[in-house]
Amino acid sequence: MNLYLYGAALALVCCSAAGQQMASLDALLQPEQQSLDALYKHLHANPELSYHEKETAARLAAELTKAGFTVATGIGGHGIVGVMKNGAGKTVLVRTDLDALPVTEKTNLPYASKIRAKDEQGNDVGVMHACGHDIHMTAFVGTARLLARLKNQWSGTVVMIGQPAEERGGGAQAMLKDGLFTRFPRPDYCLALHTDAALQTGRIGYREGPVMASVDSVDVTIRGVGGHGAYPHLTKDPVMIAAQFVMALQTIVSREVRPIDAAVVTVGSIHGGTKHNIIPDQVDLQLTVRSYTEQTREQILTSIRRIATGVARTAGVPADREPIVKVKTDEHTPATSNDPALVQRLLPVWRNLLGDQNVVLRDPEMGGEDFSHYGLIDPRIPIFLFRVGTIDPERMSAAQNTPLPSLHSPLYWPRPHPTIETGAKAMTAAVMDLLAK
């Protein structure tokens, strides 16, 4: 047979199969759209902070049970695990996160969150799914329903997990320590999706290798000697010292880290004092540190300690009142790196499913994800975190003049449809390829 004709025939068969799969997934999702929309709006309007995802976990556990999964709850806190065994074959883990952020929503959506709660410091805060975890969960449920309906087309085991406390960086480790890979089928592949606040709806984003940074939360207490605001010469003003400390931190990235190494040091919170005319005893700061290598991470943390001590000593703070720098090890998130072979395997699946123009290469980011832990606990398990576009074309066009709100913004809102359907179809197609009969 002429090789050209054979290749053309094979391409037609592949395109036909991809078209049939697309039509099949669309047809299966169509009757689910109304219930998925209701689920999304419920989750968005009822967010829960990290380590407090009780009702969210219960709702997702019920959804998985209804779809035919065997469900366990209370794994590593409020984590849930749904298992569907469907004959011999590999095991694929699909993860969604459950938690929301201490952000007061300002979108004015009809289903906007009005929830308030106490944060870890006991402060009254607004709560919002400002990072798209509500989209993740709804696409996750859509995937579970599709895989259950398509059991005759795949063979193996699907493990679907709802993970708590992603925003605090401790949820993945908590589930792993509670036996995720020993009490339940050990995965051969781990998949997750994440919303993208700068990618058009209907599209997914990918990248091989390093894709998200390591993250450290650092608490710094600048201590001084308090007193009356009218007599500053009798004090060691921690507000002034803290101001110098914040400015000096910027030299770490600009003058200490190699220019070709990515790094971020951000002061996200600073609190000190109670009244206009009182110089306080201390100022508390919260920092986030981002990097891609362990060497850069250690360099930054060492520099933070040195600078804090240095500015305090320069101000004449007594030795017993030097700054306290605490790296919150329970919130450390390693850098996330997508397995190149797994990425290359799934790209043709998605291109055939969604079209070449809708599968987009994305740049690495300084955001963090504790999904990385699932690949680090056993380097033989490949992981892949891909992005799902959430912004409709009209807003994308308008963004040329006005920047779009980023993830974690009180103004961020994803377009639910077709975002949810795109995420569910892409994840379902990926799982079915990895578990193909």
Please give the positions annotated as active site: 99, 166
Q: How far is CA 187 from CA 150, 181, 314, 383, in A?
A: 20, 7, 54, 10
Assign 207 to helix, strand or coil: coil
| Rounded Cα gap, residues 309 and 317, in angstroms | 9
Assign 87 to helix, strand or coil: coil
- And the tokens for 26? 């669309």
Assign 267 to helix, strand or coil: strand
DSSP 64-84: HHHHT-EEEEEETTTEEEEEE
| Rounded Cα gap, residues 116 and 45, in angstroms | 11
- Kindly state the helix (H) or strand (E) to which residue 219 belongs, with its residue range: strand 214-223
Kindly tell me the sign of the dihedral angle through the C-alpha atoms of 251, 257, 260, 263.
negative
Alpha-helical segments (H) within 102-149:
133-149
As a whole number of angstroms, the longest Cα–Cα distance in the chain is 96
With DSSP H G I counted as helix, E B as strand and the rest as coil, what are the percentages for the chain, rounded to 5? 40, 25, 30
Measured between its terminal Cα atoms, the distance across the chain in Å is 28
